[in-house]
Structure 1
Amino acid sequence: MSESRSSLAAAWERDAVKIGVLLGGIYLAYFLVGVLLDYGVRGQLNSIASLTFYVALFALLSLALNLHWGYTGLFNIGVVGFMAVGIYVMAVVSKAPTTETAAGSVGGLGLPLWVGVLAGMAAAGFLGLLIAIPALRLRADYLAIVTVATSEMVRFTFLSSTFERVEVGGLVVGFGGGSGLLLDFGSPVRQLFEALFLGGVYEGVVSLVGTVIDNNPEPVADGLLYGVILLGAVAGYYVLLNRLGNSPFGRVLKAIREDEDAANALGKDTNGFKTKAFVVGCALMGLGGILWYMTSGAITPNTYRPRLTFFIWIALIIGGAGSNTGSVMGGALFAALLFQGPRFLQSVVTNFVAVEAPSSFGQALAPIAGSADLAPLAFYMLDSVRQLQLIVMGVVLVFLMHRRPQGLLGHRKEAAASVPLRTRSNDGAYTDGGESDE
């Protein structure tokens, strides 16, 4: 019995097991909700695809932010600006070209989708470099002000009529201004699979889904396959940041986070290290923006408001800054419970209870004073769950900062080196270099 317990404890110490158990529990809960709501096969598959989409993207962006804050101590609250640069540059590079001059007709350069993805990442990284050169000499609150101001400058630049439509070499390109930009890529998921030489896999999955869904199975298959792509991106981010954290470069970043003056005194070019980390993190955030919005059909600048940055910060704080495993778990919990959860709770309750919500907050409070009836207030809150969602997030954030500032996994010991530093025990050798008398 003790051996089985010790083996379970040893398995639980593995980060992959923690992530797997959490994701398994989340998917099981959403599946049971789908059964309660009588979703059917198509509804269940769409629910799984939507859940995977948000879980993967919040995990992915939390990992990118963890490189800035968790590893290096860079207080970046302009994440959404780098996401916007990534998707807009990708759209300009990969949209179909047009020569029409009519109002609202904006095309692109017509390059392959994968080229646009790389261009969007490069543009986000370059913007990070432009910010890093002057701003990383600042610390704490000052850097935060610069990054959030930059994200707003990006949004207003995309809103500007100056860059709405520009003729370049006979082609009409631009950012679309306040009207937004159409993303007419056809089937981005199919293109991504074909770019990875997996076109046969795509067709096979569409055919498989078609065996259980008679009517238009391709959108359902696209959602599921895109979820697989996003989970693959999360795994890639995770491996990259783990290797980076255990490398000499990553150990210098952690030294800068703990005491930049001490790291500088030891001869490390702290500004250079911070600049590199900032640029890499911004490029990863650009990729996150591309993956989030490339299948949306259209984008508008006002989508990229600061609140999305704070969603990502909450996800990182839930998991614990400095922990890649915590970043993934925090992103998953935020997406499932705080971002998507209220909508599912509303659907479950209204499916079993006839809800007649008051039309105003005053009408919801009046029965409490008269007869202590809390039902109207509860129904009003349920009907306004989307508006109250931000309040709930704020309460959760305040609670975590007071009760669990170290995050879900708590304080974790970090490796001092990428190889074990302990000396192997040997009968004929001593750690001080002496020789045996035998």
Structure 2
Amino acid sequence: MSGADPEGDPGTDTADVPGEDDEESAMIRPKWGSDLFLIAKVVLATYALFFVVGVLSGAGVNATVGTIQSITFWAALFALGALALNLHWGYTGMFNIGIAGFMAIGAYTMSIAIASPDGTPAGFGLPIPIGILLGTIAAGIAGLVLVIPTLRVRADYFAIVTLGFSEIVRLSVQSRSLRQIGDTGYGTGGGQGIRATPVDSVVPWLFDQPIVGDVGGVILAAGEAVGIASSVTMRGMYTFILILFVVAFYVLLTRIAYSPFGRVLKAIREDELAAKSLGKRTDRAKIAAFAVGCALMGLVGTLWMGSRTHISPDHFMPLITFYVFVALIVGGAGSNTGSVIGGFAFAAFIFEGPRFVRTMVRANLGADFPRTAYGAFAEFGAGDPTALIGYVLYQQADEVRYIILGVVLIVLMIKRPDGLLGHRKEISAGVDLSRQGTVADGGRPAGGRTDASSPANGADETAAKDGGDRDE
């Protein structure tokens, strides 16, 4: 019998089950394998769809590949944010709508830590890994400070507190009084933000490391050989780093979800009073979960700003929180796999989809379209339908995104209120009681068969299958 699989349940090695038929082997296959296959299918199908549509529509291979790279970048960021939020909302039931604020704390802390001491505003010139670590810790401490006094605030009131905190953070870093603190030169830069900060030097810093630098040099040379600019290759490598963080987040949060601590969180979500009556320290569990989730959100902020040369308060508007929530709603609250798929689907079809349509319109109809609705309808009335099409799909592509967003949410609320994967079941016990080899199966060895006289047949097996809880 193999060890615990990354999805939490103890995996069963199919080699220990000689003679099992295909159906029974499928039942004991580790769930993380099927989840990985599901994510891969969604990603590859989306890539194929965008590539085929882009090439056939005349958008061009370069523009299509650039869109796919942008989709991957944003999908990784939204997946990271959705996974962090899933720990709060999906597992613990804590309605945190201050995500942008914690991302801002992490990003500003990192930027000030690694900025040059000669810059304006000045920084401490620390190494990039130290800056990322400090940003993560600062966001976690901020979450800890926030949750302790508001621990007894419930539901909508807790959401209001987190939203207010997020706006306090954004307005604070925008304040002139914090633009430059005293004569030290350190500060947030106010409304102008922090410019010329080396937050875009993550990949070059990696290239300076012994092994990674050699591999990166080979990749850059290969890219230049086929005509790919070095800047494009470096952006692709940074996106790959984000994907590695998605994997790390997924494994970490899945382990938390299936641990005794995670089962306490799910008990709090379902009925906190019942969890308290069983002797669980729900207050401590909520504090720990909120602090960890906020630290992860701060880490997401540092990773996002790691691809930019300018950090501004405008980057952390409440709309960012809304985007992350929609990504989690699409995938299904309480499902880590759903968080990844939801982040990818949101980035591809809602966030970047309208921009890709604009690229196709420009390639086929040009870019000379009316800039006002009056002009578009006037030309449409004169017999030129392309003017209205261009105005809607080219000039107002970003606004069309919000229309699509609203339609998607309405359809989800009607057809799939739990999201794409929110309907999946997750056991509350430390092991899957519906699998063979558990106590519920009469104490049989893992993967072993039982004869007709075994006590596992009958009521015990039926009762074991009723021990599921929500989530994947």
Q: TM-score, normalised by structure 1?
A: 0.87
Shift of 1:345: 1.1
Q: What's the secondary structure of 1:135's corresponding residue?
A: coil
Residue 30 of structure 1 aligns to a residue in which SS?
helix
Per the alignment, residue 249 of structure 2 pairs with 237
In structure 2, the partner of 1:129 is 144
Among 29, 38, 43, the residue aligned to 2:49 = 29
Aligned to 1:435: none
In structure 2, the partner of 1:207 is 221
> Which residue number corresponds to residue 163 of structure 2?
148
Partner of 2:67: 47
Which residue type is aligned with residue 172 of structure 1?
A: G
Deviates more, 1:280-289 or 1:185-194: 185-194
Counterpart of 1:58 in structure 2 is 78
Q: Which amino acid aligns with 1:313?
A: F
Q: Aligned pair 1:93/2:113, yes or no?
A: yes
Q: Deviations over 1:66-119 (max 9, x none)?
A: 111000001011100011110100011111112x7xxxx212111110000000
Partner amino acid for 1:264? K
Which residue in 1 is equivalent to 2:198? Answer: 184
Partner of 1:342: 354
Give the alignment of 1:20-419 within 5 angstroms: 20-36=40-56, 37=58, 39-40=60-61, 43=63, 45-98=65-118, 105-166=120-181, 172-182=185-195, 183-185=197-199, 187-192=201-206, 194=208, 198-213=212-227, 217-353=229-365, 357-364=369-376, 376-382=387-393, 383-419=395-431
Report how far residue 122 of structure 1 moved. Answer: 0.4
CA distance in 1, matches of 2:409, 2:170: 26
User: Aligned pair count?
Assistant: 419
Q: Is the 1:57–1:288 contact (alpha carbons within 8 Å) kept by the matching residues of 2?
A: yes
Question: Structure 2: how far apart are the matches of 1:200 and 1:76?
Answer: 43
d(CA) in 2 for partners of 1:384 and 1:190? Answer: 37
C-alpha distance in structure 2 between counterparts of 1:378 and 1:11, whole Å: 49
SS of equivalent to 1:198: helix
Shift of 1:306: 0.4
2:67/2:352 contact within 8 Å kept: no
Preserved CA contact (<8 Å) 2:331 2:421? yes
Letter in 2 for 1:379: G
Residues 112 and 176 (structure 1 numbering): CA distance in 2 closer, same or farther, change over 3 Å?
A: same
Shift of 1:410: 4.3
For structure 2, the 5+ residue unaligned runs are 1-20, 445-449, 457-472
Percent of paired sites with the same residue: 44
For 2:130 and 2:334, the matched residues in 1 are separated by 32
- Rounded to whole Å, the distance in 2 between the matches of 1:290 and 1:117 is 6
Mean Cα deviation higher: 183-192 or 250-259: 183-192
2-structure distance, mates of 1:377, 1:4: 56
Checking the alignment, whether the CA contact within 8 Å between 1:95 and 1:110 is kept in structure 2 is yes
Structure 2 match to 1:17: 37
Q: Aligned equivalents of 2:136 and 2:429: distance in 1?
A: 30
Note the alpha carbon deviations across 1:289-322, whole angstroms, 9 max, x for none.
Answer: 1111222100111221101110111110000000
Q: What whole-Å deviation, never above 9, does each CA across 1:139-192 have from its counterpart, x for those lacking one? A: 110011001111100011101111111358xx5221111111022346221214
Q: Is the 8 A contact 1:50 1:223 kept in 2?
A: no
CA displacement at 1:59 relative to structure 2: 0.8
Paired with 2:210 and 2:41, the residues of 1 have a C-alpha distance of 30
Q: Aligned equivalents of 2:274 and 2:171: distance in 1?
A: 40
Q: Distance in 2 between matches of 1:73 and 1:372?
A: 55
Q: Using structure 2 for the length normalisation, give the TM-score.
A: 0.81
Residue 7 (structure 1) shift: 8.7
SS of the aligned residue for 1:414 comes to strand
Whichever residue aligns with residue 129 of structure 1, its letter is L
